[in-house]
Amino acid sequence: MEAYKAYLHEISGFIPDERIYTDDLRLLTWGTDAGFYRLIPQIVVRSMNEDEVSRLLALADKHNLPVTFRAAGTSLSGQSISDSILIVAGKHWEKYSISEDLETITLQPGIIGERVNQILKPFGRKFAPDPASVKSAMVGGIVMNNASGMNCGTHANSDKMLLTARIVFADGTILDTSSEQSKENFRKSKPGFIEKIEQLRDYVQADEPFLSRILHKYSIKNVTGLNILPLAIYRDPFDIITHLLVGSEGTLAFLSEFTMKTGKDYPFKASAMLYFNDIKEACRAVVAMKKGPVMGAELLDKKSLESVNDPTGRGLTAVLTETMADTKEELYGQIEQIEGILSAFKTAVPVKFTDKEEEYAPYWAIRSGIFPSVGGTRKPGTTTLIEDVAFHIEDLPEATADLQQLLEKHGYPDACIYGHALEGNYHFIINQSFDTREQVAQYESLMNEIKTLVVDKYDGSLKAEHGTGRNMAPFVEYEWGEKAFALMKEIKSLFDPKNLLNPGVIFNDDPHCHIRHFKPMPLTNEHVDKCIECGFCEVNCLTAGFTLSSRQRIVAQREITRIKDIPEQQERLKRLKKQYAYAGNDTCAGDGLCATSCPMNINTGHLTHDLRAELLPQDSIGYQLGMWTANHFAGVKAMLRPVLTLADTAHSIIGTRNMTALAKGLRSVSGNSIPLWTSAMPKAYTPKATGSLKSELKVVYFPSCLNQTMGTAHSSPDHTPLVDKTVALLEKAGYEVIFPSNMNKLCCGTIWESKGMPEIADRKAAELEEALYIATENGRYPVLCDQSPCLYRMRNTMNRIKLYEPAEFILTFLCDKLEFTPIKQPVAIHITCSMKKMKLEKQLIALAGLCSEKVLVPEEVGCCGFAGDKGFTHPEVNAYALRKLRPQLEKAGIEVGYSNSRTCEIGLTTNSDIPYLSIVYLVDQCTKQKGGNS
């Protein structure tokens, strides 16, 4: 421990304390990845740049302390866990550049793979490696695992596409293989290193049988052990060094930047889900299609199809097939050719290709979600394990049947087999408990027979694309043989002579390392118990990388549940609960966007609401205050208006700068207990609750509580309160506006739900529904609500009325009654969480497109983090969520933005320095009544 203390002392000289973690909570949560093992690190460091990593490694080398690297933590085989030092390279490592000819892209390791595809798509290019986790995995992990997927095969994996790299070695030395100067400096400083690389190269290339064996092994997908293919195919030592890192899983060096060839994103694509009665027949069809214009063929056995509730595939085996082309004519020709190949095989359902993305995209979404979906159907409390093997294509039918029989033989009747059949690469998933010796022995016996089947019978790969990790480390020498394994160990010793980089991964002297350190999966909350900790949710969690992510909240709560009755863990339990209060509870927005990228639709916000409810029993002061507020809601709003007026008056008198300083000072003195005032704070407002037009066209308008209380901010380009603006727009379109009775007492209940008082929330929602039902004359008229989060809850709790938010209502009912004249200046659109969950993004963008010639939807800006009142009470969450917004607005020259949530607009205005208003203002500005002058 003294070495760790010394290390901590030294790194604190250049790493801020807020990026060094030694507390129980963050050691636990950052030390957990998507695999089924767990180790708890001693230190976690959030690195920001290459210089920091170099210094961190140099000091670890000095103190002989092991180091492991972690990016997104989506690895499945135990590559990114550590019981020593864990260096995270994620959120701060997102820079990129594209070459002028678009043929290459230079990337830092923390960019999500799907983000790279979004960057390249406008140019007709793509990120070639395509693991199923590409929407969540970061490119550094993809390259270092040599992770591949459905279409890239061995022809376009990371090893084939990589050109150059910036590398940080175990002693902190930096090498840039794209720089002649850097290479020359490295030759001078480490002549023995280059000499050894050249010796190993010559040794391999001079031994013809050994060379042939290596080439044969890599003719199919293979990531077992270190990647020794570079020694067989390259002459330049720096090319060899660059490519040795691919698939090395952080055991050789750190990859701080790399340049890869981009892949071609074909403009025309078509897919077909082919169904077969027999798995062997399906595999024989794949073997035949291998010779045709097929880009991908994904096998899904009957258990896989059951896990995703495929109604067509019940009891069948499916092969999801894809072809791509430069022209539509070429595509149709390829489809015809593939159909000709398939005519020799018996399919259970007629073959039908589709080139419509809306039809084939769900097929591929099903395929990508198989692993988490199967995991979600497991028996509660068990662990989901996934392995991936590869066979030579000619062996596919028999090998697949053998694998299926082997899983059944060892007592895994519910195991499923699926994967990249065109490449002979299969994944198999089992749900397993490790609570008893017998269960561990069951798994060990299966793995021993798997290695015999794959290696001895079919000369395949034990690991095809997920990396060796800890679960295949004992079998590397078995697959490769003594000679190749000795070569791998020489490479490891050359790069990492002290064995400090990711020890235990790939190279492990413990033959039982794959059946140790299993991750516990105790039941903790019914809303999240199905979670397999894959990390797919994190791309949509606004606090990922700030406090805790949605996955990390689940990990923490599982551990709290696990140790609650263990006497010797009670002090740690207290610390975890205390640390969780801010990081897990206070800063969770509860927006539910995590569910949108979770294949099991797990909403960690529900967990947060349940935990908040536990902290507010019905006899507590907090709950009683919530009850009083609900019962006196009109009075509460009346009390808020003078506060807003007072703040607005002070703002007018002393100015924005002085008011901002005063507000921050008061908040600081109060220990952050006083909500933060910003210049985006609106004036007070009291609605008239009456329209002036009588018409056969009627709409019931329910302004949200906020819009009944808040007007516009000083910075707003239009000072008409939203309620008045909405009434004016509706009347311009010829609608009579009806307000529900006693409107100032009504609320959808979101306020109480978010605070953990669901009973009060549901009562308020029921009151509102009854009032709206009466106002609509028993559901006869549509209801418009001007706040999307409120509407979202209303839709989830009300079923007697037809509910609309502004963009949806305008597109549905007003467009044919209004004449649009789009403005020339660009506008920004913020799509709220509730809009995304209601799948109304396209409507908002389409409506903005009718109003402006240029509409910007800022990239990588999800939930704004205001979360009702979080922007007032925890403004740091709001600021973090919107950290990428302002630069995009400035670059596009945008001066005003639009959304459909008042609180979100306050936060957006605060953190962007431009006013954000409801989309209603933009529509009103750009329209006049058809045939009229207004």
On whether the CB atoms of residues 498 and 170 are closer than 8 A, the answer is yes
Burial 854-876 (b: 16+ CB within 10 A, else e): bbbebeebbbbbbbbebbbbbbe
Residue 933 has pLDDT above 60, yes or no: no
**What is the Cα–Cα distance from 439 to 444, expressed in whole angstroms?**
9
**What is the Cα–Cα distance from 506 to 600, expressed in whole angstroms?**
31
**What is the Cα–Cα distance from 4 to 18, expressed in whole angstroms?**
18
pLDDT at 575: 98
pLDDT tens profile 834-891: 999 999 999 999 999 999 999 999 999 999 999 988 889 999 999 999 999 999 999 9
On whether the CB atoms of residues 716 and 915 are closer than 8 A, the answer is yes
Rg (CA), the chain: 30
For residue 797, give both structure tokens: 């709790």
Closest CA to 355 of 462, 272, 439, 449: 272
Q: Which architecture characterizes domain 96-264 according to CATH? A: 2-Layer Sandwich (3.30)
Residue 932 has pLDDT above 70, yes or no: no
**Residue at 31: amino acid letter:** G
Distances (CA, A) of 175 to 145, 165, 170, 179: 20, 8, 12, 8
**What is the Cα–Cα distance from 754 to 784, expressed in whole angstroms?**
23
pLDDT at 741: 93
Closest CA to 379 of 519, 517, 532: 532
DSSP, collapsed to helix, strand or coil, labels residue 909 as: helix
For residue 356, give both structure tokens: 């419509």
For residue 929, give both structure tokens: 């009544």
Q: Is the dihedral of CA 291, 292, 297, 301 positive or negative?
A: negative
**What is the Cα–Cα distance from 181 to 183, expressed in whole angstroms?**
5
Cβ neighbourhood burial of 12 (10 Å; 0-12, 13-18, 19+): exposed
Backbone angles phi, psi at 577, to 5 degrees: -65, -45
Cβ atoms within 10 Å, residue 131: 24
Backbone angles phi, psi at 754, to 5 degrees: -65, -25
pLDDT tens profile 116-153: 999 999 999 999 998 888 999 999 999 999 998 877 87
Percent pLDDT > 70 in the chain is 100
Q: Which architecture characterizes domain 268-467 according to CATH? A: 3-Layer(aba) Sandwich (3.40)
On whether the CB atoms of residues 611 and 528 are closer than 8 A, the answer is no
Residue 173 has pLDDT above 70, yes or no: yes
Distances (CA, A) of 607 to 531, 548, 732, 824, 863: 12, 14, 44, 45, 18
Mean per-residue pLDDT over the chain, rounded: 94
**Residue at 180: amino acid letter:** E
pLDDT at 841: 95
Burial 799-818 (b: 16+ CB within 10 A, else e): eebebbbbbbbbbebbbebb
Residue 437 has pLDDT above 80, yes or no: yes
**What is the Cα–Cα distance from 319 to 360, expressed in whole angstroms?**
13
pLDDT at 828: 98
Mean pLDDT along residues 590-608:
93
Mean pLDDT along residues 401-422:
91
On whether the CB atoms of residues 326 and 293 are closer than 8 A, the answer is no
On whether the CB atoms of residues 851 and 818 are closer than 8 A, the answer is no
pLDDT at 149: 82
pLDDT at 282: 94
Domain residue ranges of the chain, discontinuous segments joined by +: 96-264, 268-467, 523-615, 698-929
On whether the CB atoms of residues 903 and 869 are closer than 8 A, the answer is yes
What single string gives the DSSP state of each residue in 394-416?
GGHHHHHHHHHHHHHHTT-TT-E
Max CA pair span of the chain: 93
Closest CA to 146 of 50, 218, 67: 218
Of 570-579, 673-682, 855-864, the poorest mean pLDDT is in 673-682
pLDDT tens profile 875-931: 999 999 999 999 999 999 999 999 999 999 999 999 999 999 999 999 999 999 987
**Residue at 324: amino acid letter:** M
Mean pLDDT along residues 430-446:
92
Residue 465 has pLDDT above 60, yes or no: yes
Block residue for tokens 């109480």: 752
Closest CA to 517 of 35, 30, 32, 38: 38
Closest CA to 407 of 392, 421, 393, 418: 418
Of 6-15, 301-310, 311-320, the poorest mean pLDDT is in 301-310
DSSP, collapsed to helix, strand or coil, labels residue 428 as: strand
Local confidence band at 419 (pLDDT 50, 70, 90 cut-offs): confident
For residue 25, give both structure tokens: 């909570």
Closest CA to 584 of 554, 606, 614: 554
Closest CA to 5 of 58, 63, 50, 46: 63
**What is the Cα–Cα distance from 24 to 573, expressed in whole angstroms?**
9
**In terms of pLDDT, which residue wins out, 742 or 1?**
742
On whether the CB atoms of residues 832 and 789 are closer than 8 A, the answer is yes
How are beta strands 818-820 and 783-785 bridged, if at all? unpaired
CA 609 from centre of chain: 22
Name the β-bridge partners of 389: 426
**What is the Cα–Cα distance from 525 to 539, expressed in whole angstroms?**
22
Mean pLDDT along residues 652-674:
84
Residue 314 has pLDDT above 90, yes or no: no
pLDDT tens profile 341-395: 999 999 999 999 999 999 999 888 878 778 777 777 788 888 888 889 999 999 9
**What is the Cα–Cα distance from 465 to 470, expressed in whole angstroms?**
14
Of 91-105, 292-306, 767-781, the poorest mean pLDDT is in 292-306
**What is the Cα–Cα distance from 80 to 117, expressed in whole angstroms?**
24
On whether the CB atoms of residues 449 and 411 are closer than 8 A, the answer is no
Residues 539, 543, 544, CA angle at the centre, nearest 5°?
45
On whether the CB atoms of residues 277 and 316 are closer than 8 A, the answer is yes
Element (H, E) at 562: helix 550-563
**In terms of pLDDT, which residue wins out, 363 or 257?**
257
